[in-house]
A and B are shown apart, each in its own frame.
Chain A
């Protein structure tokens, strides 16, 4: 065994951590997110005890719907990363393709991906756990559309940052959606959150979507206010995300970073 050779393997990565905030953050990101998520789930279960009806329905439903948001986001961000990894980005931007057309192309692929993933997960949930997500009825449609749109928003924010700061920011493609998961009320209601996080949750479309879903499952009533809030916030954030993409595209063109994937 040669210590120098072993240190060579490790130091190759230490150098990266020394100057990459996204890589450094990743070390702490997942443990913190896991702790928050499972901590609030534990608190919730402790609070409701055995009073929670349809426990399986709540969790499996939440998981399947969360996956819709995540696949939608991945459909945008990972597809974009594939263009970077294959060094094809430049070919796209020297073609007459408009930035808006580029985004719409990514969005259409994301719809295909989430539909494929949702088909598999809902079928498996029905086969393995006798859980039928379609029990939610027609109300499922507007909420699922909202989840997909929120996924697009997170995806567009991710690719805007990767475009500007290069591949070292690509960890966001896997992490950014999970940043909002603890405050999205996926597995527990917003009311379980401490005041500060509650305020953040109320400014995020997904919390209204999952609260709306929970309302249908628990009481059978459709929450119009939840849907309207989710739709309004989604429209607002999607608009901001698209503006960010155009702004960052302009910055990389001014700085001449497109060929280098955003890095200076």
Chain B
């Protein structure tokens, strides 16, 4: 049985009267890619933020890499990383300076060889000495992904990792993430509104709606459970309030 790197039990987050995440339990296995899907307001961002200790849960427990959050916050965050299309890196630093700064923030001595390798991996080596503010959105996303691998994380949290990439670079990024996972046993928890990507990249997906898990399984299983052709159709059904999957899936 694969080792579980994330164990979430009965996780709930209430903001006054709003229940953003409602009694969610799930696990992420070592080397697994788990996709988190759901309409806007479904609770995906709140869930990821709780796993990164940006939001304190109302109840429930989180164990990451066998350690309890928030008690072992520092030890956990040193072994995971995060990349989001919507979170910027300091624009007035060069690409290389950003990677040096973030190496230090993760308690690492900046490793020029490693930084160069990451820049090459994401095809931004020629931008190393450019100011970050001069990068295109796609280049910024690739820099953010390079930053997220600086500490050789065991778990990667990705918020819409390919949202601003062109189809070619998005495809390359997905292949790269799979290759990194296959080489090093990296586990990935990602969100995306790109349903095609969610059919291809994750081993398993969790569909959220109004803070609850409405379906989970491999993308094919979820599509079958809703008796649809693809994930986009499943997503539309959930977003429009028709959330009942087949009895098999609920079980």
Which A residues contact B (CB, under 8 angstroms)? 83, 86-88, 90-98, 250, 253-256, 258-259
Contact = CB atoms under 8 A, between A and B. Distances in A.
Contacts of A259: 45, 49, 54
B102 A253 contact: no
Given A95-B77, A97-B105, A86 B90 contact: yes
Contact of B102 (A83, A93, A95, A250): A95
A206 to B, nearest CB: 33
Contacts of A96: 73-75, 77-78, 105-107
B53 interface: yes
Nearest to B91: A86
A82 to B, nearest CB: 8
Interface residues of B, number: 31
B82 interface: yes
16 contacts: A86-B90, A86-B92, A87-B87, A88-B88, A88-B89, A90-B87, A94-B52, A94-B54, A95-B77, A96-B75, A96-B107, A253-B56, A254-B55, A256-B15, A259-B49, A259-B54
Contacts of A93: 53-54
Contact of A253 (B55, B75, B77, B157): B55
Question: Would you call the interface of chain A mostly helix, strand, loop, or mixed?
Answer: helix
Contacts of B81: 94
B210 interface: no
Interface string B184-200: 00000000000000000
B63 interface: no
B74 A94 contact: no
B46 interface: yes
Contact of A88 (B15, B20, B49, B90): B90
Interface string B78-122: 100110100111111000000000100111000000000000000
A254 B107 contact: no
B87 A253 contact: no
Interface string B131-157: 000000000000000010000000001
A92 B89 contact: no
Nearest to A95: B105
B125 to A, nearest CB: 22
